[in-house]
Amino acid sequence: MVKKYNYTRMALLLLLLSLFFLYLSVANAGNSKIKGIYITQYNLENTAFINHLIQQAKAAGIDTFVVDLEKIPSKRYANNIALVRQNNIKYVARIIMFPNGGTPKMVEDTQYWQKKYTLVQQAIAWGASQIQLDYIRYNTKQKPSAENAKRILNIIQWYKNKLASQNISLQIDVFGIASFGESYYIGQSIKLFSQAVDAICPMVYPSHYVPFPEHFRQPYETVYNSLTHIKKQFGPDMPIKVYAYIELSNYHYPMSHSKTLEYIKAQIKAVEAAGADGWYAWSPHNRYDNLFKVLQNQTTTR
């Protein structure tokens, strides 16, 4: 009788421990910060390159690839996306809505929206977990108006309605300047867009802020101030995720290798200190060796 009681108690204890560890794993998964890199469609279709990048990215702790889908891809695109996903890396499809910003005619053209949506459907068929719309704005020549952001919101809401039924999240890229309030020229308002998106991806590149020399010298402050000002727009209850875009170089100023590493490190620290939900690193040619070195050094020093 005593033995039976002991076995029952042990079984119950093991069950409770299993449930506890399951809870921890789920909680940690929910709290994990996104670490992603941007990949062009051209490079994604290069199998040798993407295999190398996958291995390097995994070693550095990268968990997400934001991949362009701009035109009808080759069969290799689908095969290489499958490789990405087989390696437990999330595939986020980046769709450029209005290259160089939209004109009033383009913004109002629902057939144009639908044409872009065909790319979205293709990305979902290949396993995209989220869709990221970039250049979802007017061009900079547009007259400033509070109506501009409302018209852009109509497009975002149209996409959100289609994606919600498929349980696919929607991300929107915005200019860093929108972190400080609505941009009336290009029609971007983070607070307004929060009604219809799951995540905002502010491009808080120090190279995009004036005066250029000041922000080049202060990458940490530039990124941190931008992200904390987004939170100030909402108060204590942030309704959406914030994934910051950071840059790996500054096109205004060349940097030494050591300075480049410090520049990248400062931006990552700023994202973490500001309490954002993660970051995406931008390199137009997908050269990420410096980023990987920074991340691997962080791992060994912790």
- Which residues lie below 8 Å from residue 253, measured CB to CB, with a gap of 6+? 212, 216
Strand partners, 76: none
Q: CATH homologous superfamily for 31-301?
A: Glycosidases (3.20.20.80)
Alpha carbon distance 169, 30 (integer Å): 15
Q: What is the pLDDT of residue 5?
A: 52
Q: What is the pLDDT of residue 20?
A: 44
**Residue 208 near residue 175 (C-beta atoms within 8 A):** yes
Which tokens in the block code for residue 224? Answer: 């941190």
Residue 25 has pLDDT above 60, yes or no: no
Mean pLDDT for 71-82 is 90
Mean pLDDT for 215-230 is 97
- Which residues lie below 8 Å from residue 157, measured CB to CB, with a gap of 6+? 195, 196
Mean pLDDT for 264-275 is 98
Q: What is the pLDDT of residue 74?
A: 83
Q: What is the pLDDT of residue 298?
A: 77
Q: What is the pLDDT of residue 1?
A: 52
153 φ, ψ (degrees, to nearest 5): -60, -35
Q: What is the mean pLDDT of the chain?
A: 91
Residues 248-267 pLDDT 10s: 999 999 999 999 999 999 99
Residue 11 has pLDDT above 90, yes or no: no
Q: What is the pLDDT of residue 32?
A: 79
Per-residue confidence band for 71, with pLDDT thresholds at 50, 70 and 90 = confident
Residues 239-250 pLDDT 10s: 999 999 999 999
Alpha carbon distance 151, 153 (integer Å): 5
Alpha carbon distance 302, 273 (integer Å): 16
